[in-house]
């Protein structure tokens, strides 16, 4: 089955085309070894256009992002080889959650393509896409038949036993989800205010660092760890809700504590900036690791899946890997190249929903910026 994926939930425009076969036990309590072995998919195209125009504003302007999507979608589509584009079986499009003006641009584009190609559409939850892409397992490449084409890139998914825990961390989301099976989810906890990625960006702005702020915070934090490992740090930041008996998160207080320190110590020296970055990243990581580890232990899961843009953070990855290894729990981290928003994950999720004939009538297809997994 050939699936064309469309992603426009925020400021990245994505179009991807995959060819997949097999079922992988989607919807079953436990994928059988045979189902896991049989499932394969080939990436025919995976294109992403990032909107750098928002950097000057320090954040995403939804209507500006919408107009950029309108320009980028047809341009990306034109870059897909016509030999690949023939015989598309289904279109998968992100319908939420995300910035609603942006989502609508992708939805309307999917409607138009559906009419032109006479193929059905499946609506996809953006967060489910992040979960599935985090199960990715790379297969050996094989030569395509056409001499002019490069080696095909093929993937499968890691088979897991359910229940499993998914930690979804990005600029718009911080969620702990219990996966009872593919397509069967239960929220354990969510952020009550800022998402962790949003907090990274806001703290970066306080330190006069460029947008998006996550990579710049991480660079300074790592610099501090290398140069100040043996010396005491001059202050401590709070770790909100780390000891509360729930799985919710809150990063607004942590962000406010940084703001107060910055205002009190203006102008910040470069050394102070690195220490602030380290303290902030350590505090955020401590909360994420503690909550995830406790959820894994309480629900007796064998596997924890981590996806979303913030899953690319090297320090958070390392901390989660260390903690879960000590607990004897398997960790599946989203491959770095697919941690950001992309249409490949939407096409992948769309494939499994298409297998269950979960198509949407085009007239009923709509965007929902606050769409939930369950």
Domain that holds residue 37: 2-134+340-364
- Residue 200 and residue 250 in one domain: yes
E strands in 182-224: 184-190
In sequence order, the 6+-apart residues with CB closer than 8 A to the CB of 18 are 2, 3, 5, 41, 42, 43, 44, 344, 347, 348, 351
- How far is Cα 309 from Cα 73, in angstroms, rounded to an integer? 21
d(CA 289, CA 56): 33
Same domain (yes/no): 188, 305: yes
Residues 346 and 266 in one domain: no
Is 268 inside a domain boundary?
Answer: yes
Q: Does residue 369 lie within any of the structural domains?
A: no
Whether 144 is in a domain gets the answer no
User: What's the rounded Cα separation, in Å, for the pair 167 and 216?
Assistant: 23
Pairing of strands 184-190, 174-181: antiparallel
pLDDT of residue 157: 92
In this predicted structure, what is the pLDDT of residue 143?
Answer: 45
Q: Residue 253: enclosing H or E segment and its boundaries?
A: helix 252-264
Cα 365 from Cα 3, distance rounded (Å): 17
Inter-residue contact 86 to 362 (CB < 8 Å): no
Helices (H), 118-166: 126-133
Do 194 and 297 share a structural domain?
yes
**Residues 53-76, buried b or exposed e (16+ Cβ, 10 A)?**
ebeeeeebbbebbbbbbeebbeeb
SS3 content of the chain, % helix, strand, coil (to 5): 45, 20, 35
E strand spans, 53-119: 90-96
Q: Do both 127 and 190 map to the same domain?
A: no
State how far the Cα of 279 lies from the Cα of 70, in Å rounded to an integer: 40
Nearest partner of 218 among 338, 319, 324, 294, judged by Cα: 319
Q: What is the pLDDT of residue 211?
A: 85
**Residues ≥6 apart with Cβ < 8 Å to 1:** 19, 20, 21, 89, 90, 351, 354, 355
Note whether 108 and 194 are same-domain residues.
no
- Does residue 265 sit in the same domain as residue 347? no
Question: In terms of domains, do 321 and 347 share one?
Answer: no
User: Which CATH number fits the domain that encloses residue 8?
Assistant: 3.30.420.40
Tell me how many domains the chain contains.
Answer: 2
Asked whether residue 142 is domain-assigned, the answer is no
Query: The tokens of 50 are what?
Result: 């990032």
| 182 plus 263 within the same structural domain | yes
Place of tokens 């954040």: 59
Asked whether residue 317 falls in the same domain as residue 174, the answer is yes
| Residue 39 domain-assigned (yes or no) | yes
- Secondary structure (3-state) at 250: coil
Residue 145: what pLDDT? 45
Query: Residue 65's pLDDT is what?
Result: 84
Q: DSSP character for 152?
A: B
Q: Answer yes or no: is 229 within a domain.
A: yes
pLDDT in tens, the chain (374 residues): 999 999 999 889 999 999 999 987 654 555 545 555 688 999 999 999 876 664 655 667 678 889 989 999 999 999 987 667 778 999 999 999 999 999 999 999 999 999 999 999 999 999 999 999 999 998 754 444 444 445 567 899 998 999 999 999 999 999 999 999 888 999 999 999 999 999 999 999 999 999 889 999 999 999 999 886 544 456 789 999 999 999 999 999 999 999 999 999 999 999 899 999 999 999 999 999 999 999 999 999 999 999 999 999 999 999 999 999 999 999 999 999 999 999 999 999 999 999 999 999 999 999 999 999 98
- Alpha carbons within 13 A on the beta-carbon side of 170: 22
Would residue 209 count as lying in a domain? yes
Q: Are residues 25 and 49 in the same domain?
A: yes
Element of type H or E holding 289:
helix 270-298
User: Cis (ω within 30 of 0) for the bond into 212?
Assistant: yes
Cβ distance 63 to 69 under 8 Å? no
Q: Does any domain span residue 139?
A: no
Residues 129, 63 share a domain: yes
């Amino acid at each position: 089955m050939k699936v064309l994926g469309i992603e426009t939930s925020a400021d990245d425009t994505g179009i991807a085309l995959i060819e997949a076969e097999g079922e992988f036990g989607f919807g079953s309590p436990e994928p059988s070894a045979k189902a896991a072995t049989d499932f394969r998919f080939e990436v025919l195209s995976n294109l992403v256009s990032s909107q750098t125009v928002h950097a000057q504003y320090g954040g995403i302007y939804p209507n500006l992002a919408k107009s950029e999507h309108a320009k980028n979608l047809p341009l990306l589509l034109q870059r897909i080889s016509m030999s690949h584009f023939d015989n598309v079986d289904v279109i998968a499009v992100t319908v939420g959650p995300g910035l609603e003006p942006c989502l609508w641009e992708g939805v309307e584009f999917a409607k138009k393509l559906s009419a032109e190609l006479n193929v059905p559409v499946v609506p996809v939850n953006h967060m489910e896409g992040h979960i599935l892409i985090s199960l990715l397992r790379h297969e050996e490449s094989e030569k395509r038949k056409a001499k002019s084409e490069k080696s095909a890139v093929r993937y499968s998914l890691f088979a897991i036993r359910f229940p499993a825990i998914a930690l979804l961390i990005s600029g718009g989301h911080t969620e702990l989800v219990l996966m009872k099976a593919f397509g069967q989810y239960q929220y354990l906890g969510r952020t009550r205010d800022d998402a962790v990625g949003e907090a990274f960006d806001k703290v970066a702005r306080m330190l006069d660092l460029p947008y998006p702020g996550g990579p710049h915070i991480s660079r300074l934090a790592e610099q501090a760890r290398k140069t100040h490992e043996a010396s005491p740090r001059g202050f401590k930041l709070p770790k909100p809700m780390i000891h509360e008996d729930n799985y919710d998160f809150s990063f607004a207080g942590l962000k406010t504590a940084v703001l107060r320190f910055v205002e009190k110590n203006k102008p910040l020296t470069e050394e102070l900036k690195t220490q602030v970055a380290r303290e902030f990243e350590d505090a955020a990581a401590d909360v994420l690791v503690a909550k995830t580890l406790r959820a894994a232990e309480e629900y007796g899961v064998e596997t924890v899946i981590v996806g979303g843009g913030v899953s690319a953070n090297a320090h958070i990855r390392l901390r989660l890997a260390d903690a879960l290894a000590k607990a004897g729990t398997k960790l599946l981290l989203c491959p770095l190249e697919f941690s950001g928003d992309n249409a490949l994950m939407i096409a992948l999720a769309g494939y499994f929903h298409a297998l269950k004939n979960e198509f949407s009538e085009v007239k009923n297809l709509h965007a929902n910026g606050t769409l939930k997994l369950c």
